[in-house]
Chain A
């Protein structure tokens, strides 16, 4: 028993031990400040390499699942079961001609391809991938994520504006409108959780869930749904992919991009989609906490399960219209998030921390909110006094038959 626990502990802490071993090896050659510098650099390098490498399987994962949902097989040509499709795509994108439109704003056009990808990697820095596996445990972790996450908007708007193309500027404008609208419910829904924790640090959010012995999805189910919905809109994925709605505005903000610059946008989108799943895992699903399996395995299991839901939603729902998008954000998500925040604040003040009573009270509060919303939003539950007027269909004009 002791030995099994020892092995589990070893596997659990393997990356942390590796890092400390590496730094102790460095300490014998370098002064202390240099070790710190190199270790920071190495951590950043590991995160960036992880981010870039994860595209390989995220991409194939997504395309296979979307294919299966649509009764297709998805890519199955290159490599075993088509698993190397991403390599082929990358080679194709890298060898493509890199076109800059003649009337485009050259500097901003080229810069805009790099800007959206920077914040996506910056978000990875504060995510606890496992017990003790966090690049920097910022005390303002979630605030940092919100602040950095909204930087991506600027890159997309730069791309939209500098391309000098009517479709791309429409896409850019839509992005700005959408991201600003959806940031509010996204942040407000997490504030409820932050009230429960009493800290903004991602690590303490995970630890608080350990102390409650429940993931926050049980205590804050409504907040989870709100966060996930708003976050999908925040990273411009279906069904909220209006900025790149190919049936309306061709490809939106990246219409003029080709080759490697286009790949950068794609990269940013995929890593962003992964990081919202990772944030949702940390905040609502208990992060790296879980029995038996090593902590990092639990984290990735949960994050990729959420990513599956993301793909599943993409395969199910059609794209929203612009007015529907705005109505949904301001008339449904924001009021719901505010109601959730108020009720949570009240309940947290009344019930003791880390207790079963508290958990039940929070759950009950959520149920009350959901029932209230259902009564308000769902007309069949209240007496509908409106008269239904049946309008007979106008006869369709008959065409002359020969």
Chain B
């Protein structure tokens, strides 16, 4: 009859409305989805699964392209970077400046300075792909916002190595699995 479609639609919305409360009751003490992303996304789960962002943070995916980090070999404690400058040359936005140190350390070229400008970086990841010694990676950092442009977003060699030790202690990026070599 006329109007049944409207009633059916209203039944659907009422069910969604009630389901959110059912879902809340099921996870009773915790009102919101927290911890693992998929906690409230199962096939039997009902209701809202909004992640309450500033309080609950989703772990970033292993291949997330965040700000660049420089990796360190954990055995020799040396930066893996050989200061070849390929990253500098491939960078579309010219955000990287590398200079090579005069003297080799244990038969390996090392960078003297490494300047990475996050102001202009567009996180394309070309530098990470092209790096012959797999010395570059991305940090899983999501909140890189600052109150000012300029210095706050410029990273030097020490800072990048520090970030590398922090986010990729194994000296390999992505952290979970080695990136497959492009054929």
Assess whether A68 is in contact with B20, with CB atoms less than 8 Å apart: yes
**A72 x B1 contact (CB < 8 A):** no
Q: Which of B13, B21, B32 contacts A315 (CB 8 A)?
A: B13
Determine whether A70 belongs to the interface, using a CB cutoff of 8 Å to chain B: yes
Cβ-based interface call for B6 (8 A) = yes
Are B50 and A374 closer than 8 Å at their CB atoms?
Answer: no
- The reply on B2 being an interface residue by CB < 8 A is yes
B16 at the interface (CB under 8 A from A): yes
Q: Is B170 an interface residue (CB 8 A)?
A: no
B126 within 8 A of partner (CB)? no
> Chain B 43-63, CB within 8 Å of chain A: the 1/0 string?
000011110100000000000
For residues 67 through 109 of chain A, which have their beta carbon under 8 Å from a beta carbon of chain B?
67-73, 76
User: Is the CB–CB distance between B48 and A71 below 8 Å?
Assistant: yes
Least CB distance, A22 to chain B, in whole angstroms: 42
How many interface residues does chain B have, given as a range?
10 to 19
Q: Would you call the interface of chain A mostly helix, strand, loop, or mixed?
A: helix
Choice from B1, B9, B10, B20 contacting A71 with Cβ under 8 Å: B20
* A331 beta carbon closer than 8 Å to chain B: no
A210 to B50: give the CA distance in the assembly, Å: 48
Interface size on A, residues (CB 8 A): 18
Any A CB within 8 A of the CB of B64? no
Task: Determine whether the beta carbon of A312 is less than 8 Å from that of B14.
Answer: yes
- When distances are taken between beta carbons in the complex, the residues of chain B under 8 Å from A315 are 13, 17
Contact among B1, B9, B17 with A68 in the assembled complex (CB-CB below 8 Å): B17
Which residues of chain B in 1-26 are interfacial with respect to chain A, using CB atoms and an 8 Å cutoff? 1-2, 6, 9-10, 12-14, 16-17, 19-21
Are B47's CB and A71's CB within 8 A?
Answer: yes
Residue of A nearest to B3 (CB): A225
CB-CB contacts below 8 Å: A100-121 with B = none
* Number of A-B residue pairs having CB atoms within 8 Å of each other in the complex: 44
Tell me the bound Cα distance from A244 to B78 in angstroms: 64
Residues from chain B with Cβ under 8 Å of A317 in the complex: 6, 9
Rounded to whole Å, the gap between the CB of B117 and the closest CB of chain A is: 35
Tell me which of A313, A316, A374 contacts B1 (CB under 8 A).
A374
- Say whether A369 faces chain B, with CB atoms less than 8 Å apart: no
CB of A213 closer than 8 Å to a CB of B: no
Contact yes or no, B10 A68, CB < 8 A: no
Closest Cβ of chain B to A224, distance in Å, is 13
CB-CB under 8 A from A378, the residues of chain B are: 1-2
Which A residues are CB-close (under 8 A) to B50? 72-73
Q: Cα distance A273–B162 when bound, in Å?
A: 59
Answer whether residue A368 sits at the interface, using C-beta atoms and an 8 A cutoff.
no
Which residues of B have CB within 8 Å of A68? 16-17, 20-21, 48
Chain B: minimal CB distance from A123 (Å): 27
The answer to whether A316 and B10 have CB atoms under 8 Å apart is yes
Which A residues are CB-close (under 8 A) to B21? 68
Determine how close the nearest CB of chain A comes to the CB of B25; give it in whole angstroms: 13
CA distance A377 to B1 in the complex (A): 8
Query: Which A residues lie within 8 Å of B6 (CB)?
Result: 316-317
Knowing A71-B47, A73-B50, the reply to whether A374 touches B9 (Cβ < 8 A) is no
Inter-chain contacts of A69 with B (CB < 8 A): 13, 16-17
The docked-state distance in angstroms from the alpha carbon of A373 to that of B47 is 39
A172 CB to closest chain B CB (Å) equals 29
Shortest CB–CB separation between residue A65 and chain B, in angstroms? 7
Note all chain A residues with C-beta closer than 8 A to B12.
Answer: 316
Beyond A312-B10, A316-B9, whether A373 also contacts B2 by CB under 8 A is yes
Query: Which B36-85 residues have C-beta < 8 A from chain A?
Result: 47-50, 52
Bound-complex Cα distance A210 to B48 (A): 44
> B20: which A residues are within 8 A, CB to CB?
68, 71, 73
**Chain A residues in 8 Å Cβ range of B52:** 76
Q: A315-B17, A316-B9, A378-B2 are in contact. List 10 more A-B contacts (CB 8 A).
A: A65-B17, A67-B48, A69-B13, A69-B16, A72-B48, A72-B50, A312-B17, A316-B12, A374-B2, A377-B2
Q: Which 3 A-B pairs have the closest CB atoms?
A: A316-B13, A68-B20, A316-B9
Which residues of A pack against B, CB within 8 Å?
65, 67-73, 76, 312-313, 315-317, 373-374, 377-378
**Sampled A-B contacts (13; CB under 8 Å):** A68-B20, A69-B17, A71-B16, A71-B20, A72-B48, A312-B14, A313-B10, A315-B13, A317-B6, A373-B2, A374-B1, A374-B2, A378-B1
